[in-house]
A and B are shown apart, each in its own frame.
Chain A
Amino acid sequence: MSRKPVAFDPHMIELMVHQGIPHCRELGVRVVEVGAARTVLMLPFQERLIGNPEFGILAGGAVTTLVDTVCGMAVQVALGKLLPIATLDLRIDYLRPSEPRQDVHAMAECYKLTRQIAFVRSTAWNEDEAKPIANCVATFMIGSSDKAVLPPAAEQEAGRAVKGARPR
């Protein structure tokens, strides 16, 4: 990537995932890693997300949700600030079924950022990153609305987090 990696407080991504996105809060999505190169999230296994009851396999839709979220977060990290973004398109290949009753991890990297569009790729896996269950490419529109990104309470907390963050 031609851009310099930007300083970004990982706490902002946690605020976003845990407080800014009600559906992720509902699913209990966790932030595993936030870095300039990649962002990793985890979706804990839950019975209610099973798509194939014969084998206890997580539904594709749940994996899509995790992947969409991690792609969006990778865009925020690349931007170096929280901006309103919107998924333009997302294509996901399901390489193999998720292992029965296992958590899903998903990693995303924003490999190209223009003024208006972000290009992202992502993979998902259970325990071994070398054995991906899904591969994804997505594009996002940047600055898709003029509304703030976080709910007001989290916005205040984010302000404190930024003030407290050390420049890197």
Chain B
Amino acid sequence: MSMLDVIRQAKESGDFGRFLTAIPYFAFLGLAIEETPEGPVCILPADERFIGNPRLPALHGGVVGALLESAAVVQLVWQSEAVHIPKTINLSVDYLRSARPVRTFARGIVTKHGRRVANVRVEAWQDDPARPVAAAKAHFLLG
């Protein structure tokens, strides 16, 4: 099945599990999606393989960045007409707090959806959405 079919099917069924497993890196991260009234939330499971600093311990900043970027992609695919995976143009991550190696959540908000480019803001949190561990903004090329 092509990516186009996977995305179309995911949107029709509202089940993005298939979309997540179709992308090897999302499967490697073990990403899951939970639907909420505010939109899809990406969930990164607790896993010792994702640790960047074992003495704190803390998640690797790259993994946190990857979660934010993934949540932005998921949000875009979820709410737009896109049938291709949006291409990341750039990503700017602010690391706000040390991210412990526990289950981490991320949700994106599409700030601007143009014809060719979309701007997405994303936040990641652990226990409390009001205390984000990281925030990012990203641009994506669509289609």
Residues of A within 8 A of B (CB): 20-24, 26, 47-54, 58-62, 64-69, 72, 84, 86-94, 97, 144-145, 147-151
| A84: B residues at CB distance < 8 A | 53, 55
Within 8 A of A (CB), among B61-103: 61-63, 65-67, 69-70, 85, 87-95, 98
Point out the residues of chain B lying under 8 angstroms from A68, CB to CB: 60-62, 65
Which parts of B1-19 form the interface with A (CB within 8 Å)?
A: 2-3
Instruction: Find out whether the CB atom of A61 lies under 8 angstroms from the CB atom of B49.
Output: no
Beta-carbon contact of A91 and B55 below 8 Å? no
Query: What are 24 A-B pairs with beta-carbon distances under 8 A?
Result: A21-B52, A23-B50, A26-B50, A48-B25, A51-B23, A53-B22, A54-B3, A59-B26, A61-B62, A65-B66, A66-B62, A67-B62, A68-B65, A69-B62, A87-B61, A89-B94, A90-B95, A92-B90, A92-B91, A93-B90, A94-B91, A97-B87, A145-B56, A149-B53
Q: Which of A20, A67, A89, A145 contacts B92 (CB 8 A)?
A: A89
The interface residues of chain A lying within 8 Å CB-to-CB of B63 are: 23, 61, 65
Partner of B24, one of A53, A87, A94: A53
| B51 within 8 A of partner (CB) | yes
Closest CB in chain B relative to A28 CB, distance in Å: 12
Whether B65 pairs with A61 at a CB distance below 8 angstroms is yes
